[in-house]
């Protein structure tokens, strides 16, 4: 950045955004801006004055309901406001962030009142800012002390400047739908009464209507609406050998009205129940090495899981001698202009796209969490990595943010995430031709059978214990990041006969495996899910999420390896289950 642009940003930072009458009526926004003007004067004798302050607040009205076997388990509304304060002392080149203890003393934790009480809101901002400022002053002192004992390989600044943005949605938060979904979820859960061999099942629905606010001392002031609706159903049972088999349905949408109609949801739940029943009866898969075909949505799932986290380039924080830093770098770091995919594949991340083939896209947004307007980014060109998804946290080899701050991060920074990811191919074949090519490879190698994966367990309904076992198995096989197991996996024989199998998981399947994609289909398939930066995008974890859509083809690999799990399995229940429809005894 040249001196002229830096001076321009400094001039803007000294100016508070002017509110039009409509925004002046917003008590929350007014309290944030007024208290920030006062916060600019924060200073302790002999210590640094803040150069950057950011206030954010999520104002949400949520509703959730869950049911099992036709009985409501829980149902209720929740109204809350979550404020956050970030204070940076020092300057853009060196501040209190990007250090192992940067989150120490951060300004958060105090809930804001849900009433529009200007005085109480301002008091909350004042207290949080005071706490965050004191924490920032202490942290920068500790960071300076730590740097006397460690050597940094890169001399990077701590924050990239960004032009201020003022954007006001002019929309209301809205009230979530309640009664109709309580009955609908209860009725859908009753479908499992037809499957007494399924030992556990549930159906849930959440509808969150929220307004998000952000103001900072650079002059940004933002208010935007962020509705989200999510329908889920899960089911599990035991196979004869004691192995637990399960399946799940996850349908997130940007608003409740975009969810499928009840009849379509019923079909999805019924199909899931049939899948669980079939998996319980399926034989345990055999270890396999050879060609693998990912049909339908499985191709998009593989690309989302392997590439999504690795396109987000983070930065290892300053540490202290002898202290382990909980930091997992991108596996693509230092691989700019290297081939990571076949030359016939390109990848574009485009949050400006609203729909694809008539389907609304979940990853669309107009401004990121740091107040930066995003643009489409070509991440991969002819198989070669060209850039990363970036926030305002400076990283080596890059020059500035591209507006991908979408999730809370660590060490004082936001976390980047994919939005709408499009995998495009200059060489593709019809899905039927792709399968024929796969079968030809099996014949050429005299394989008694091949493996077709029609759906991965991503996002995953695995328990935390199962997720830990998958992570440990991946680490033992040398993988940096674990890959979810196939949810629907089939053996296909030379005569075309298919057989569902269970219990297989990949061995040594990682980001470098994508270079060996043999061919892809012309047909494209859309995956919509909620990214929470957890392994396998676990459905059970993460309170803060970012909507993602991935549009990609079916994939054919020349050589992949799958293996049976070596985990112990529990013994089957001793006493048979009671009849689901049995009448209560008198």
DSSP string, 134-159: HHHHHHHHHHHHHHTTS--S----S-
Please say whether the beta carbons of 310 and 511 come within 8 A.
yes
**Where are the extended beta strands (E) located within 459-574?**
486-492, 498-501, 505-507, 517-531, 546-563
Query: When comparing pLDDT for 435 and 154, which is higher?
Result: 435
pLDDT in tens, 448-464: 999 999 999 999 988 87
Residue 8: enclosing H or E segment and its boundaries?
Answer: helix 3-13
Q: What is the pLDDT of residue 365?
A: 96
Alpha-carbon gap, residue 377 to 350, rounded angstroms:
6
Q: Give the separation between CA 401 and CA 414, rounded to whole angstroms.
A: 11
CB of 255 closer than 8 Å to CB of 207: no
Per-residue pLDDT tens over the stretch 246-293: 999 999 999 999 999 999 999 999 999 999 999 999 999 999 999 999
Q: Where does 383-536 show beta strands of DSSP type E?
A: 384-385, 405-408, 414-416, 420-425, 450-456, 486-492, 498-501, 505-507, 517-531
pLDDT band at 21 (very low <50, low <70, confident <90, very high): low
If you average pLDDT over residues 203-228, what whole number do you get?
94
Helices (H), 148-204: 179-189
- Domains (range + CATH), the chain: 3-228 (3.30.2290), 289-312+336-563 (no CATH)
Mean pLDDT, residues 215-228 taken together: 93
Q: Look at phi and psi of residue 432 and say left if phi exceeds 0, alpha if psi is from -120 to 50, else beta.
A: alpha
User: What pLDDT is stored for residue 443 in this prediction?
Assistant: 93
Q: How confident is the model at residue 543 (pLDDT cuts 50, 70, 90)?
A: confident
The string of pLDDT tens digits covering residues 100-146 is: 999 876 655 578 999 999 999 999 999 999 999 999 999 999 999 99
Summarised one tens digit per residue, pLDDT across range 570-583 is 777 777 777 776 55
Backbone angles phi, psi at 9, to 5 degrees: -65, -40
268 close to 231: Cβ distance less than 8 angstroms? no
Distance between CA atoms of 269 and 526, rounded to whole angstroms? 19
Q: Would you state the pLDDT for residue 13?
A: 39
280 versus 21: which is more confidently predicted?
280
Cβ atoms of residues 505 and 470 within 8 Å: yes
pLDDT greater than 90 at residue 565? no
Q: How far is CA 119 from the centre of its chain?
A: 36
Among the ranges given (18-32, 305-319, 556-570), the one the predictor scored with the smallest mean pLDDT: 18-32
Query: For 20-34, 66-80, 241-255, which range has the lowest pLDDT when averaged over its residues?
Result: 20-34
Task: Name the E strands within 69-152.
Answer: 71-89, 107-108
Which DSSP state fits 456? E
Distance CA 546, CA 369 (A): 11
């Amino acid at each position: 950045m040249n001196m002229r642009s830096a001076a321009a940003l400094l001039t803007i930072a000294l100016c508070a955004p002017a509110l039009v009458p409509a925004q002046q009526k917003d008590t929350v926004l007014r309290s944030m801006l007024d208290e920030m003007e006062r916060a600019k004067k924060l200073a302790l004798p002999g210590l640094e004055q803040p150069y950057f302050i950011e206030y954010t607040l999520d104002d949400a009205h949520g509703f959730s309901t869950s049911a099992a076997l036709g009985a409501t388990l829980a149902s209720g509304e929740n109204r809350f406001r979550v404020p956050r304060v970030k204070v940076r002392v020092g300057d853009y080149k060196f501040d209190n962030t990007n250090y192992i203890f940067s989150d120490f003393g951060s300004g958060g934790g105090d809930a804001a009142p849900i009433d529009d009480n200007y005085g109480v809101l301002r008091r909350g901002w004042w207290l949080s800012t005071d706490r965050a400022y004191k924490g920032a002053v202490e942290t920068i002192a500790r960071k300076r002390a730590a740097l006397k004992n460690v050597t940094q390989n890169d001399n990077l600044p701590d924050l990239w400047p960004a032009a201020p943005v003022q954007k006001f949605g002019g929309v209301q938060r809205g009230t979530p739908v309640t009664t109709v979904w309580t009955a609908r979820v209860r009725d859908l859960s009753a479908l499992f009464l037809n499957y007494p061999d399924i030992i556990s099942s549930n159906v849930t629905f959440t509808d969150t209507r929220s307004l998000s606010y952000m103001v900072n001392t650079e002059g940004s002031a933002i208010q935007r609406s962020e509705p989200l609706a999510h329908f889920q159903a899960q089911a599990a049972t035991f196979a004869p050998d004691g192995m637990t088999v399960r399946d799940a349905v996850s349908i997130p949408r940007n608003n409740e009205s975009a969810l499928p109609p009840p009849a379509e949801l019923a079909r999805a739940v019924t199909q899931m129940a049939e899948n669980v029943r079939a998996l319980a009866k399926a034989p345990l898969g055999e270890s396999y090495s050879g060609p693998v075909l990912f049909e339908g949505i499985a191709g998009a799932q593989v690309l989302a899981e392997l590439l999504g986290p690795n396109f987000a380039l983070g930065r290892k924080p300053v540490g202290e001698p002898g202290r382990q830093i909980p930091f997992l770098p991108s596996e693509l770091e230092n691989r700019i202009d290297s081939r990571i995919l076949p030359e016939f594949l390109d990848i574009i991340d485009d949050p400006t796209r609203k729909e694809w083939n008539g389907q609304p896209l979940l990853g669309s947004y107009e401004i990121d969490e740091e107040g930066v307007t995003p643009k489409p980014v070509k991440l991969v060109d002819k198989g070669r990595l060209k850039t990363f998804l970036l926030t305002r946290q400076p990283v080596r080899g890059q020059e500035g943010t591209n507006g991908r701050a979408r999730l809370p991060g660590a060490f004082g920074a936001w976390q980047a995430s994919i939005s709408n990811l499009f995998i495009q191919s200059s060489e593709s074949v019809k899905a039927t031709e792709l399968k024929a090519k796969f079968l030809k490879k099996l014949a050429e190698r005299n394989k008694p059978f091949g493996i077709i994966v029609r759906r991965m367990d991503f996002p995953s309904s695995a328990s935390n214990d199962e997720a830990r076992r998958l992570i440990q198995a991946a680490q033992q096989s040398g993988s940096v990041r674990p890959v979810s197991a196939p949810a629907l996996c089939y053996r296909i024989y030379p005569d075309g006969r298919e057989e569902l199998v269970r219990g297989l998981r990949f061995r040594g399947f990682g980001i470098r495996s994508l270079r060996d994609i043999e061919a892809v289909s012309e047909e494209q398939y859309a995956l919509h899910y909620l990214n929470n930066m957890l392994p396998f995008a676990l459905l059970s974890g993460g309170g803060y999420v970012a909507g993602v859509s991935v549009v990609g083809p079916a994939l054919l690999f020349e050589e992949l390896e799958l293996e049976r799990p070596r985990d112990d399995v529990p013994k089957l229940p001793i006493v048979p289950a009671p009849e689901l429809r049995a009448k209560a005894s008198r």
